Amino acid sequence: MNEKINTPSRHVIRLRRRVADGVMWGATALSFALLGFVLLHILTYVFVHGLPALHLTIFTTDAQGIAGGLRNAIVGSLLLSGLALVIAVPIGVSAGVYLSEHGDGLAAKVARFLSDVLVGVPSIVLGYFGYITMVIGFGWRFSLLAGSITLAIMMLPYIARTSEMAFRAVPIALRESAYALGCPEGGVVWRVLLPTARTPVLTGILMALAIALGETAPLLYTAGWSNYLWNGHFTHEGVGYLTYVIWSFIGEPYASAHQLAYAAALLITLMVLAINLSARLLLVRWRDVGR
Amino acid sequence: MVHVFSRFRFRWGLGLIAGLLPLSLLVIVVFLLHAAWPAITFNGLGFLIHNSWNLGNMYADPVMVRGQEVLPRADYGVLFLVVGTLLTSLIALILAVPFGILSAIFLAEGLRGPARTLGSFLVELLAAVPSVVYGLWGYLVLIPLLGRHVYPWLEQSLGTFVPIFHGPSGSGYGLLTAGILLAFMVVPLIAASLRDALVATPSALREAGASMGASRMEIVRQILLPGQRNLIIGVTVLAFGRALGETMAVLMVSGNALNSLPKNIYDPISTMAAFIASQLDSAMQDPTGMAVHALAEIALLLMVISVLVNGAARGVLWLSGHRA
């Protein structure tokens, strides 16, 4: 009898469950809404302040102290990331092939572990490493090559990881038929693996490029800064880049400097989003066709 | 032998090029250790347990201490940086974990079809925004909002009975602001991983729950989430590692405190990563080079902490069957 008295009625239990469910659903929707709101607020803020600052002269003149344009910084950003890509892609994709094709040996396991560790190394640590080795040690000073190699080290593990996954997804039967036709190992990689896994590998490379373009910390003490357009030197000359403009010019007490910072923020955000978006679209379209 | 080599020539070449990746990590460790060594011998253990970043007397002749040439009265202790780094990342996690889990549930269970794709895309884009743009937004939007409106209110309400929220609430630059900004930067990692795991749960589990009369949310809370416990822990630790190394956003909103520990949650702080970025210019003025060596020691310390945290996260994820 006692039990029956202490148990709440079915009606109350049902109400309690309904309320608990409603509260939880409300909390999930609210937290999603907050994240979405913050993203849209950041993007609109950058657009609203960046668009008016984006004159044609931004693209045609170089920075002069805290005024002028951003031509040198735009070219510098593209050069730094582009050169980093040229260095990182062959090494990263080779590592991906090796890890996917010979990934069960001890050497591959160690390499995979070290690659995972490298992902976790903060980018400012990579920047300081670049400073003490290349800028000081090799005597390159602040330069394009020092900045690009530092960025390349940062991109390597991402490219290796995504290409390993892409090559692993290639069916074994494809490799076996190529070997059965007498194709050597190199031929299998060049003619079977790379063409088949082209799209997901490219997606990984684009994602790594987007990360590199938006980075500041590894470049502060490797690329330095320059008010002039790149003059063809790989070492001994600093390079300007967009993210530096954002960080350094927004702290200046002049409206012209702020305008440049807003314009740089808009440009770099647009570039990163465009690359990110095209990488995703590429992957989605490839999956749909695959089905 | 020559025959064997030529047969596997491609594989050898591939291995050699691929080997540059792990080699780069070893080179980083060796060179950082080499650059930090004079500072390690000069500072000893005191580096970690007191607050002092003092380059010494710039205008005096260098003296020899413990076999190292330094400026007179030079003293390096970075306890305040270690504390600032750990506290900002901890605040970031306290905020990011609940929001990440809740929005993952919303994305996986509350939305479907194109709405889910679009929603997931929005959350993942938060991770694509460059760190320095977060810094810009934090500096121009978050700091005025928090410093003028939210913190004074927090100080008046919560501050009256919770000691760490006790005033003065300051200008908006500080520990809590850095933590909030970091939370937005790491939340996509948590939300995306948990969403993928929830979507991939076998439908038999949901059906078993539904056949017992449980509602959708009860299935999530009592069946799906407990099953993802290890994943949540692993991803949380991974997010902690990411927050530890963030530089630009923290640099722009933390207030860059020097040699002082925060007294309340609003106080200016600095983190190891932000300090390296902000101090190299002045460290280069030290003619003995000890300040640059000491910065290398901070970089090495930050790297060791991040690698340990990352290793722990990957261990937990590996145990739970994920290779994230």
Instruction: Provide DSSP, B114-165.
Output: HHHHHHHHHHHHHHHS-HHHHHHHIIIIIHHHIIIIIHHHHHHTGGGT-GGG
- pLDDT surpassing 90 at residue B103: yes
Q: Measured between beta carbons, which residues in chain A are less than 8 angstroms from residue B35? A: 132
What pLDDT is stored for residue B1 in this prediction? Answer: 45
Contact A246 B132 (CB under 8 A): yes
- pLDDT surpassing 70 at residue B227: yes
A96 contacts A198 by C-beta, under 8 angstroms = no
What pLDDT is stored for residue A123 in this prediction? Answer: 92
Contact B184 A115 (CB under 8 A): no
Tell how far CA B251 is from the center of its chain.
13
Confidence band of A211 (pLDDT split at 50, 70, 90)? very high
Confidence band of B89 (pLDDT split at 50, 70, 90)? very high
Lowest average pLDDT, out of A5-9, A174-178, A225-229, goes to A5-9
The whole-number average pLDDT for the span A155-162 is: 92
The whole-number average pLDDT for the span B146-161 is: 86
At B11 the three-state DSSP class reads helix
Lowest average pLDDT, out of A169-178, A232-241, B98-107, goes to A232-241
- pLDDT surpassing 80 at residue B102: yes
Confidence band of A1 (pLDDT split at 50, 70, 90)? very low
Percentage of the residues of chain A whose pLDDT score is greater than 90: 53
Select from B18, B105, B191 the Cβ nearest to the Cβ of A94: B18
Residue ranges of domains in chain B, CATH in brackets: 77-203+232-319 (1.10.3720.10)
At B70 the three-state DSSP class reads strand
Q: How many CB pairs under 8 A join A and B?
A: 244
Q: Measured between beta carbons, which residues in chain A are less than 8 angstroms from residue B251? A: 247
Lowest average pLDDT, out of A172-176, A267-271, B16-20, B192-196, goes to B16-20
- Those residues whose C-beta lies under 8 Å from the C-beta of residue B41, and which sit 6 or more positions away, are B66, B67, B68
> Taking all residues of chain B, what is their mean pLDDT, rounded to a whole number?
87
Identify which has the larger pLDDT, B96 or A65.
B96
Contact A215 B131 (CB under 8 A): yes
- pLDDT surpassing 70 at residue A23: yes
Of A72, A34, A74, A69, the residue nearest A54 (C-alpha): A69
CA of B52 vs chain A CAs: smallest distance (Å):
21
pLDDT tens track for B279-319:
888 888 777 888 889 999 999 999 999 999 998 988 888 88
What pLDDT is stored for residue A5 in this prediction? Answer: 59
The answer to whether the bond into B114 is cis (omega within 30° of 0) is no
What pLDDT is stored for residue A4 in this prediction? Answer: 54
